[in-house]
Structure formats: structure tokens, C-alpha cells
Amino acid sequence: METNELQNIWKNIDSEISLKTTEELNQLLTIKTRKTINKFLFIFIIDVIVCVGLIVFLILTALNRQSDIIYLINNSILCLITLTALIISLLSINKLQNNKYNLSLKDWLEQRIKLLSRWLLGKYSKFYIVLIPILLVMINLSIHVYFEYRPFLEVMKNGESIYGLTIGFLIGLFVSYFAISKIRKYQIRNLEFLKGLYSHLDNMH
Amino acid sequence: MRNKLDMKSLKEEFLEILSNYQGILHKVNIIYFRNTSDREDNFQEIIYQLWKSFPRLQNKNSIGSWIYAVSINTSISKIKKESRIEYREKLPESIDKIDIIEELSLNEASQMLLKAIYNLNEIDKPIMLLYLEEKSYEEIAEIIGISKSNVGVRINRAKELLKQNLNHLNHGN
């Protein structure tokens, strides 16, 4: 089949496409904009509620336990980590929203690969392996010690408490690692897909 | 911050451009997505991404290239998200149901061409589309982000694959 012939056949496909009216296009844009804003707001609100809720809990419980220094230190560190996590997550959501599509295909692929690589393979990408157990221990302790109505050190000497905390910690650890590994696997697959496309584009001499 | 009046005139201008160039969105959609609901979702997503980047569009002489670039990048992003399509050269036999063929009631030659395009990989698809749309090497280079000399090499390779796919499909019938 000759080149011109292919282009003529393509013109036939082109001529069959039914176009939308300006009103229909406007409606589609309005619906999509609303959906995207709602999705963004949903993630934003959940993120803020969880983090701010935890911070409020930590502050209130610390105020009720002003004499327990270890408990205060535990809650202060947790508060600081939660606040940092909230700021980082809000910045990341904002960055995701600003994904630029008005670039050439090669530049767009490069931009996405860089961003995903930084998240998945960057210097701090494995930091969660250390951070999650520490956070789980601290959160478990903060909640458990508070509702035991006894000082931190006293609770830690109680065998039953240690047993409960260990079980809670192990379940939390399993759920967290499982969820993160699922998300990471999905994102790594995406990254490989993009890298495949990029290398195909790059090796065409 | 833009005031309401600016925003309204900007939206009107955008919708007018979109109305005139929407064929590009439909065609990019056709080459990437086989079923109607995926195409509708992606069509909306492309409109939204175009609207988001419209205020930053500086060169109004290259509106076509801008629309092609955003449409192609958004479509690849959707493929990636859904992970349904893998990056590989596909065998022509892998084609199953394609909604658009029934929707547009295409003749046999058009059906064959569309099936052959579906069998190209995700990079050759837009290159072939731009070639079939008779875009200049310069425009193709700008949209894909490769040099003009590479465009020629790439088109020849994609054309060769397309012809192989067409032959395969013809012999299969």
C-alpha cells in the first residue's frame, strides 16, 4: 500500500468523526474541573483531618500528663513528625496537581521519570522502612499509656502491656508495609513503562 | 489574580480554539483507546489539561502543536495509570473488539488501517498519526521532542511496521 493511499484512507476515518458543539465542550470542561477540584479537596481534607486530629490528640493528652516527662517527650517528637509529614504531603499534592502536559513528548517523559525516580529511588525513598516502625511504636505508646492512667515507665514495666503493644505493633507494621509495598510496586511499574518509552524515543538513530 | 471578566473571555477564547481543533483530540483518542468509555474519560482529561495550560500558551501560532502535545502526553499518562497496555511491539492477532469501528461505520480499508495502527507501540502511534495528518517534519519534531533528522528515520520505521501489520492482517482475512 502506497503512502498517499494510507493518508487518503486516514482522511476517510477523519471525515467520519462527529464533532461536539461548543456548548458540549463547555459542559465537559465544567464537569471535569468540578470533579478534579472535588478529588483534590477530598484528599486535602482527609490529609488535614488525620494529621491535625493526631496533633490535637497529642497536645491534649500531653496537657493532661504534664508531670510525665517521658510521655511529654514522646508526644512532642510525634507532633513534630506529624507536622512535617503534613507539610510534605501538602507540597506533594500541590506538585502532582501542577503536572505539566504542555511539553514535547520527550520532555514530558523526562519530567515524569525524574519526579517518579526521586520519589521511588531517591536518597530518602527507603526512609519509610525506618520511620514507620518508630512512628508505630510512638503512637501505640502514646495511646496505650494515656488510657492506662499510669505513668509511662510504670506501664512499660507491666508485662501485659508489653504483650499487647507488641501485638498491636506487629499488626500495624504488617498493614503499613503491605500497603506501601503495593503502592510502590504500582509506581515502579509506571516508572518502568515511562523509561521504556523514553529509551525507545532516545535510541532511534 | 484574574478577575471574573478576564476569566470569562479567556474561557470563551479557549472554547473557540477547542471547538476548531477538537478533531486532534478525537484522533489521538482513537489511536490510543479501543473502547468508548476510555475515550470519553480521556477526552475530558485532555480538555482539562489543555484548559490548565492555556494561560501559559505563548505562541498562538503553534496551537495545533500544543494541542497534539497535551493530547498525546495525557493519553500516555492514562495508559500508564491504568497499566492496561504494555510497552511492546504487538502481534496483529492481538486485536480484538474495537468500538470505534462500529461507531464510525468505517469501510474495510479504514478498519485495516486502524487495526494496524493499534498494533504499533505507544511511541510509533503518535508519529504515524502526525505523518498521516501530513504534518511537517519540523512540527513532528516539536511535538515529539526529537531532531528533524530523526523524524525521517522514525517515520520510515513506523511506516515499515505499519505495512507489515497491514500485510499480516490482509493475509489473515
Q: Which of A81, A98, A115 is the last residue of a domain?
A: A98
**Quick one: pLDDT at residue A204?**
58
CATH code where residue B147 lies: 1.10.10
Chain B: residue whose CA lies nearest to A20: B19
pLDDT digits (tens, 9 = 90+) for A11-20: 888 888 889 9
Q: Is the dihedral of CA B32, B34, B36, B41 positive or negative?
A: negative
Question: Residue A109 is part of which domain span?
Answer: 101-205
CB contact B132 to A (< 8 Å): yes
**Residue written as grid cell 490529609:** A47
The DSSP result for A127-156, as a single string, is HHHHHHHHHHHHHHHHHHHHHHTS-HHHHH
Question: Residue B81 is part of which domain span?
Answer: 1-85
Q: Which of A98, A120, A148 is the last residue of a domain?
A: A98
Cell of B65: 502543536
Cβ count within 10 A of residue A137 = 17
The CA distance from B70 to the nearest CA of chain A, in Å, is 5
Helix runs in chain B, H state only: 4-32, 36-53, 63-82, 99-104, 108-118, 124-132, 137-144, 148-172
Asked if A12's CB is within 8 angstroms of B107's CB, the reply is yes
The reported pTM is 0.84
pLDDT digits (tens, 9 = 90+) for B96-113: 566 677 677 778 888 889
Domain count, chain A: 2
A127 with A42, same domain: the answer is: no
Q: Which of A72, A98, A124 is the last residue of a domain?
A: A98
pLDDT digits (tens, 9 = 90+) for A54-86: 999 999 999 999 999 999 999 999 999 999 999
Q: Using a CB-CB distance cutoff of 8 angstroms, which residues of chain B are in contact with residue A105?
A: 69, 72-73, 76, 123, 126, 143-145
Mean pLDDT score across all residues of chain B: 85
Half-sphere exposure of A106 (CA within 13 A, CB side): 17
Residue type, B6: D
Asked if B43's CB is within 8 angstroms of A28's CB, the reply is yes
Cell of A69: 516527662
**Quick one: pLDDT at residue B95?**
52
Chain A: residue whose CA lies nearest to B80: A190
The CA distance from A4 to the nearest CA of chain B, in Å, is 9
Q: What is the ipTM of this complex?
A: 0.83
Mutation for testing the A interface, residue in B28, B84, B132 having most A CBs under 10 Å:
B132
CA distance B38 to B81: 12
Q: Which of B85, B108, B143 is the last residue of a domain?
A: B85
Contacts of B21 (CB under 8 A, 6+ apart): B63, B64, B67
CA distance A87 to A94: 11
Number of residues that make up chain B: 173
CA angle A187/B79/A177 to nearest 5° reads 20
Residue type, A188: I
